[in-house]
Amino acid sequence: MILVTGGAGFIGSNFVIDWLASNDEPVINLDKLTYAGNPDNFSSLDGDPRHHFVKGDICDRELLNQLMAQHKPRAIVHFAAESHVDRSIHGPGDFIKTNVDGTFSLLEAARAHCAGLSDTERAAFRFLHVSTDEVFGTLNPGDPPFSETTPYAPNSPYSASKAASDHLVRAWHHTYGMAVLTSNCSNNYGPLQFPEKLVPLIIANALAGKPLPIYGDGQQVRDWLYVGDHCSAIRRILTDGQPGETYNIGGWNEKANIDVVHTLCDLLDELSPAKQSYREQITYVKDRPGHDRRYAIDARKTERELGWRPTETFETGMRKTVQWYLANQEWVRKVQSGDYLKWIDRNYSQRARGAA
C-alpha cells in the first residue's frame, strides 16, 4: 500500500487514477480538500476497494501517525502543496504552513514510521517528494535549461516555500538516512486542472465569451508537460530511482505563454467554433510582481538513468486537454464556485490594460 498526499488535486488525482489503472496496489489518498481539492476528480474510483480516501491535513501529526500505524505504507508520494504563484503573492502564509510545516510534519511521521519497520522493510521504503522547476528561479533567453545541479534561486513566495520543502527532504536523507526521492517538474497541463491556471482558464473563458487575460507581453517561456507523462515519470522514479537523488521531469516543450494561448484558441476554433476566432478575446493585462521570464527543464538524467521520456507532444497533449474540457464542462461549472469567481475578480480586475 502507498500513501498519496494531495490526491484530490490536479496532479495528485491524475496520479491516483493512473496508479490504480496500472497496478492493484491500494492507495491511501490524503487530502485536506481546500479550494483546489475536489473529490469529483476521482469519482471514477467510487466503489473501488483499492482506493481509501481520508480527508485530513498533512500538518496534523496525530492523524499522520494514525495512518502510518494503521496502513503501514511502503511508500509515500507527496503532492500536497499550495501551488499557485498569484495566490502566494496575495497570501503567503498558507504556502509556508502547507508547503514547509506540512512537509516537515510528514517527514517526521515517516521517520517515526520507518523506526518501527524491519531492516528489510526500511530498506524498501521510499518517500517521493514532488516539487517544481520554479525553485531554480528564472533563465535568460540563451541560458541552458535547469539541471538537477542548478543552484536554487526562488523568486516568489510559492517557489521559496517549495525550495524550503526540497531542502528539508534532502536534510532528512543526509541526517536521518531516510530513503527520499525528489522530482522537479515543469508546467503541467491536462484533465482535472483547477481553472485558475493558464490552460484551463483560457479554455473556460473562451467558451464563456470572456476576455483571455495575458500577463505583460505574453513572452514568458515555460516548458509544458502533459500530466499523464508526469504520472508515468513519478511511477518510474518510485520504482527505479536511487534514494537521495533528484530527477527533473520535463516535456521538452518550451513555449511562450502567448503561443500556448494561440494554440488553445486555434484548437477551440476547430473543435467548438464560435462566430469569430477565439483569438479576438485575447486581452493583455498588467504583469504580476516578480514574474519569472523563462523556465526550461533538462530531463536527460531521468531519461539516461531511468529510461523515461514523455510520450505526448505539445500538439497531441493540448488537443487531448481541449477535448477533455469540452466533454466535461459540467465539471468546470461545479468547481467555479462563488469563492473562485471572487478570486478571479480580485486577481484580474485591477490589471486590465487593453485588447490584443
Instruction: State the Cα–Cα distance between residues 217 and 207, nearest whole angstrom.
Output: 23
Single-letter residue type at 219: Q
Is-catalytic flag, 330? Answer: no
Is-catalytic flag, 315? Answer: no
CA distances from 277 to 14, 42, 113, 314 (A): 31, 34, 56, 21
Beta carbons of 1 and 49 less than 8 angstroms apart: no
Which stretches does DSSP call E strand in the chain?
A: 2-5, 27-31, 51-55, 75-78, 126-132, 180-185, 187-189, 212-215, 221-226, 246-249, 254-256, 282-285, 352-355
- For the chain, the first-to-last Cα distance in angstroms comes to 51
Strands 221-226 and 254-256: antiparallel
Is-catalytic flag, 134? Answer: yes
Instruction: State the Cα–Cα distance between residues 152 and 246, nearest whole angstrom.
Output: 13
By CB atoms closer than 10 A (0-12, 13-18, 19+), residue 94 is middle
How many other CB atoms are found less than 10 A from the CB of residue 120? 8
CA distances from 234 to 8, 95, 119, 165 (A): 17, 23, 25, 18
Tell me the three state secondary structure of residue 128: strand
Catalytic pick among 31, 57, 86, 133: 133
Catalytic pick among 31, 57, 158, 254: 158
Kindly list the strands in the beta sheet with 126-132, ordered across the sheet, starting from the edge strand earlier in the chain: 51-55, 27-31, 2-5, 75-78, 126-132, 180-185, 246-249
Catalytic pick among 57, 86, 134, 254: 134
Instruction: State the Cα–Cα distance between residues 100 and 163, nearest whole angstrom.
Output: 9
Catalytic residues: 133-134, 158
